[in-house]
Structure 1
Amino acid sequence: MAAATRRRYSVKKKKSNSIVGPTSIKWMVGLFLVLLGIIIINQSKDYLLYYFGFKSKHSQLTATERKIEDERIKGIVATHADKIFGIDVSQYQGDIDWEKVEAKDELFEIKFVMVRATAGRSKRDAKFKENWLALTQTPYIQGAYHYYRPDENSTEQAQNFIQTVHLRKGQLPPILDIEKMPKGQSMARLKEGLQNWLTLVEQHYGVKPILYSGEKYYEDFLKEDFPEYEFWIANYNPWKENIEPHYLFWQFSEKAAVLGVDELVDVNVFNGNLDQLKKVCLQKSSLK
């Protein structure tokens, strides 16, 4: 007798009462992470841009942005009441009326000014000669800096600065600005070039130059290899409130409003008072 054929019944799965399934959870987590990333990048954009060697180019701010930046500057000035402040300029600030220069609303008192002199092996800042000469007629302590181009010859870059800038007693030591990553060489070779520039310039002026860079660049590439040098560090992070004890200068904003200047200006705090800054300056002229 043939075995009875068993019927197979399909088992229906119970529908989950949960509205949110595994796929929905993944989408929600992903969306949260994207939104969190956008918030972090937006709030830290100046810091991140500086790490990669870019400065944002704002010719003007909205009224709200201006208020926020002024409040930040005001807060840092109050926190550093025992220290002094100054600005740095280049051809990007255009024509400057030095007789009118002072911080708008007197947010801070300008005591020193750094001026870009040269860049790379052959460029001279279009406004350097004009700014440098005008500053000698002001009470500000003045300094000059060179913008280093990583893939250009370091000896030629040093000569460009030396031939352009004649420092006198009472002026700041020469300053080397390094922001960019090299494209045609390794970081090791870049550091050799930086050291060559620093050595040649020190031999000429008789004083160690100051190194300028962004805080992340300094931490990652310069701190360990240039321990004998003073640093001028840029960090525009809105959460940073104090200059680090081992920094000579801190550039904390690139958006200061200054009378006599149509464009926005970088503002810096020196890690000390006026008498201490004078001790940093050259004790004799470099003119030979």
Structure 2
Amino acid sequence: MATRTPSKTPRRKAPTRNTKKQPQRTSFLSSSLFFKMVMFFGVAVVLYSQRGVFARYLGFVTDKIVYAEARSMPIDKVLDTHIEKSFGIDVSEYQDKISWDKVKEIEGGYPIEFVFVRATAGSNKTDKKFKRYWKKAKEKGFIVGAYHYYRPNENSLEQAENFIKNVTLVEGDFPPVLDIEKLPKTQSIDRLKVGLKRWLETVQAHYGVKPIIYSSESYYEDFLKDDFEDCPFWIANYTAFYKKIDSEWSIWQLTENGKVHGINTDVDINIYNGNSVQMKELLIK
């Protein structure tokens, strides 16, 4: 049998190998770059399309003078713009000591016509200063209103009963107010709305008048506007300067940093979207 001479293994040429692999690497990098560019532009399109939503939560709204300018806008300039309207404040136990004999005007000489006082919170809390502040505000001749701070994760009917047993309203007072600011932790938004409606219906049946709903503008736009459109709204937005208040709002809370002689802490300032005569249309008859 003949013996085969084993063939020699040829040397691999490094340049040849690199030359063959280089086009594949270039193709991969190009694909990766293309993918990243597509992702970037995709995200950009989504962000742009949702700019209105992000704007609300960041405190920006495109159809009004907003945030940076509004935050530096002196309160008296805002009030001057709405000088024909009625002004008021809202207080709670957080305004620890109030010298009611001195409470007359918002700093700058703007007369206070109405005062809202927190009455209750959740299913069992009563504001420590409610009875005193309610009595003093009435003695001073202010138009008064009472509000309930709603806790989304507590029973709505128990919360309504808590308000009813602590608040007596008469002719000339504001309707009861439901203050909703928080999102629920243990229930859906739909269930939250069911609870809010139960509170509103129970309280309306007791006092014979449709309650006012208080909330922030973003909360109002996203969760309340479409389902509770038949209620008067009291809306808080501290980051926008409205030259014209939305016609769907009865009251605009423009700042939490107001100054009032007789109140040692900052206080919320509110503008009723109308004059004194028009405001009487909202009051209990």
TM-score range, shorter chain: 0.7 to 0.9
- Say which of 149, 152, 155 aligns to 2:154: 152
Per the alignment, do residues 140 and 195 of structure 1 end up closer, same or farther by CA in structure 2, a change over 3 Å counting? same
C-alpha displacement of 1:107:
4.2
- Structure index of larger Rg: 2
Per the alignment, do residues 215 and 139 of structure 1 end up closer, same or farther by CA in structure 2, a change over 3 Å counting? same
Alignment of 1:70-149 (within 5 A): 71-103=73-105, 105-149=107-151
- C-alpha distance in 2, partners of 1:204/1:217? 27
C-alpha displacement of 1:250:
0.2
Q: Percent identical across equivalent pairs?
A: 50
Q: Paired residue for 2:223?
A: 221
Alignment of 1:243-282 (within 5 A): 243-282=245-284
Q: Is the 8 A contact 2:71 2:238 kept in 1?
A: no
C-alpha displacement of 1:209:
0.2
| TM-score calculated relative to the size of structure 2 | 0.75
C-alpha displacement of 1:213:
0.2
C-alpha displacement of 1:109:
1.4
Q: Is the 8 A contact 1:231 1:248 kept in 2?
A: yes
Q: Is the 8 A contact 1:144 1:175 kept in 2?
A: yes
1:226-264 deviation digits (Å, cap 9, x = unpaired): 011010000001444432111000000000011111110
Cα RMSD of the aligned pairs, angstroms, is 2.7
Per the alignment, do residues 106 and 191 of structure 1 end up closer, same or farther by CA in structure 2, a change over 3 Å counting? same
Q: Is the 8 A contact 1:148 1:157 kept in 2?
A: yes
C-alpha displacement of 1:70:
8.7
Q: Paired residue for 1:231?
A: 233
1:74-128 deviation digits (Å, cap 9, x = unpaired): 1111111221100000100112111101335434211000000000000000100
Per the alignment, do residues 71 and 186 of structure 1 end up closer, same or farther by CA in structure 2, a change over 3 Å counting? closer
For these two proteins, the number of residue pairs brought into alignment is 231
- C-alpha distance in 1, partners of 2:184/2:256? 24
Task: Give the residue type in structure 2 aligned to 1:164.
Answer: N
SS in 2 for 1:254: strand
- C-alpha distance in 1, partners of 2:140/2:58? 35
- C-alpha distance in 2, partners of 1:199/1:259? 38
Unaligned runs of 5+ in 1: 1-5, 9-43, 50-67, 284-288
Q: Is the 8 A contact 2:71 2:239 kept in 1?
A: no
Per the alignment, do residues 234 and 165 of structure 1 end up closer, same or farther by CA in structure 2, a change over 3 Å counting? same
- Say which of 190, 196, 199 aligns to 2:198: 196
- C-alpha distance in 1, partners of 2:131/2:208? 23
Q: Is the 8 A contact 1:120 1:157 kept in 2?
A: yes
- C-alpha distance in 2, partners of 1:71/1:183? 36
SS in 2 for 1:250: strand
Alignment of 1:37-76 (within 5 A): 48=58, 71-76=73-78
